[in-house]
Chain A
């Protein structure tokens, strides 16, 4: 009898433990919001990966009720993945987006939520360009992480001094430095141009404003008595053509993968290096303290027949995270928690420490890395024009970029490139319709 009572007691206790455990687990599951995310991150880049890991770890530590399953992509593979997900109607809950036409098909599809209701009251906390309308109805689809200057001419002043050079005032001055730099087995201007955006984003966009000025730039976008076949755009292309002909760029520039020019600059094989302001991240992690003292942020010198602003760059409201329109209630709030965390005060402070120039307005801490301080000053002081692929259709880049590559290889003239691109834009670009 005793044995029977003991057996029943054990069974009851076991059952109680099982149910109690199950309930506890259920409570934990009920309180947790699970989301999916497609992040834009080069995890092979040690600086970016370390920065990202701190952001993510801090978020999860402070938001234990949110679980995010993260997928990663970078450069073209990211866009391929995003588009495949979009077409298959399998967009994640949170995704990295561009403010302009780069991901315009996704943001303009109605599948991305307008963030304005959440952002309301915080607008003034961001740089004005960052909270500008991204949709035709004034929608904000992604909260910009930073204001992005796409053209920076990184300059190694120590090498320049050793070579007896000063920063060129004009395009002709720069070309004149070429022979002296090459004679020392150095690269005058390190740059890569294998994939379809670098030359257009990081140099041609700035040169287009220089050549035509903002009034002409505004008119050419909509085709108001201006076209890409105008002498202004041909002039901008001619600068690139001359740089290529005069062997100013990295050898084999059109075959070089993105990132290889950065290596040339960091290892001091190049005097100048043209890339976006986002490369400040890498400068923080990869330059030595001594190098950081003599690497400066400049813009391309004045070009012939310049109508635009001296020293201008090309700028775009930064990229950031947005959420799927299907999210409602707790899920939408959790998605916003991430978006706000990443681009708001906490995430911005972490990213600033790694070299970002956040769109979120914040005081510049004294301890900040010198390369970040230089970037903040550069962004604040440098006038900016548009980035072409932020204002013109992405498909047109498939015409413009290969044509630029052919021009750089001596197979096309700047005039031909300009005419080809204008023909495509006139017939197809949504800005002209």
Chain B
């Protein structure tokens, strides 16, 4: 056996099992889902080929479009809320701009350690018409029929949920940023201070350039995590009232498992994958520009 063929055999033996497992649990479901998305199937009978019909139905369904709008709001809060806020908090703690940094670090990180369903129930206990906040407001305003009207507004019903998402996940990004900030050599920052750099210059010229990659990675996490958003929202509102807080993962779940529309549900899942890849691609383009900017 030549050295080349020996290498080929070794690579095959070493990577083969992993590739097979990956193909079975990742590739196969995606391909299966993609093929199902062109059919109408209730899970019982033989799938009926319907071409792009399911996609047309999805893209013309106002419930899906509202769910898409809601999920894009979640993505926006993740990208423009959790990441900058997480970074700012990490920077404040890392640069010891406040006392008791450890305490704040623990407090901010705490929500991520609680199950999303528990978080949903906790917040429900506060804001639902039978919750503490409502009871308090009824007492203060002397209005026994007071309820938090925002949940009944099609435009703003997502706002409390977005706030909870921000509260819950910011701590995770903060910890990631702190870990990466600690990898920056203190001597570089000390040198900058000796050279007379201001706090803003340290942040913009020293810290940020070395954090571009991790910010990109967390942005990818934020996008993929947001598009999967399900547990917290489902446990809190079930997507209601009247689909106002529905996101596309709930839309997919309800159509697939409640109404047995497997072809339709598969098409929604494909849309989620496409959306996810598209947004991640966009983020990649933006961050490459940033990288080039800092390299220059």
Contact = CB atoms under 8 A, between A and B. Distances in A.
Asked if A and B bind, the verdict is yes
Contacts of B124: 257
B229 interface: no
Nearest to A111: B44
A411 B241 contact: no
Interface in B91-120: none
Interface in B212-252: 237-238, 240-243
A105 B42 contact: yes
B129 interface: yes
Main secondary structure of the interface of B (DSSP, over half): loop
A251 B258 contact: no
Contacts of A87: 43, 257, 260, 262
Given A252-B129, A252-B134, A194 B258 contact: no
B259 A398 contact: yes
Interface stretch (A130-138, A210-218, A306-314, A400-408): A400-408
A256 B257 contact: no
11 contacts: A83-B257, A83-B260, A87-B43, A252-B134, A254-B152, A260-B129, A260-B130, A263-B130, A398-B259, A402-B243, A411-B242
Given A105-B260, A252-B147, A194 B240 contact: yes
Given A83-B257, A87-B257, A254 B241 contact: yes
Interface in A72-124: 76, 79-80, 83-84, 86-87, 105, 109
Identify the 8 closest CB pairs spanning chains A and B, nearest first. Answer: A252-B129, A252-B147, A254-B241, A405-B242, A402-B242, A395-B259, A251-B145, A406-B242
A281 interface: no
A409 B258 contact: no
B151 interface: yes
Interface string B188-219: 00000000000000000000000000000000
Interface size range of chain B in the complex: 20 to 34
Sort chain A's interface into a size bin. 20 to 34
Contacts of B260: 83, 87, 105
Interface in A244-266: 247, 250-257, 260, 263
A194 B128 CA distance: 11
Contacts of A256: 128-130
Given A250-B129, A251-B129, A255-B147, A80 B240 contact: no
Interface of A: 76, 79-80, 83-84, 86-87, 105, 109, 182, 185, 194-195, 247, 250-257, 260, 263, 394-395, 398, 402-403, 405-406, 409, 411
A260 B129 CA distance: 10
Given A185-B144, A250-B129, A255 B151 contact: yes
Interface string B35-74: 0000000111000000000000000000000000000000
Contacts of B275: none
Nearest to A81: B257
Nearest to B149: A252
A250 B129 CA distance: 9
Given A109-B44, A257-B128, A402-B242, 12 more contacts: A87-B43, A194-B238, A195-B240, A250-B129, A251-B145, A252-B128, A252-B129, A252-B147, A254-B242, A256-B128, A405-B240, A409-B241
A79 B238 CA distance: 14
B279 interface: no
Contacts of A260: 129-130
B257 A402 contact: no
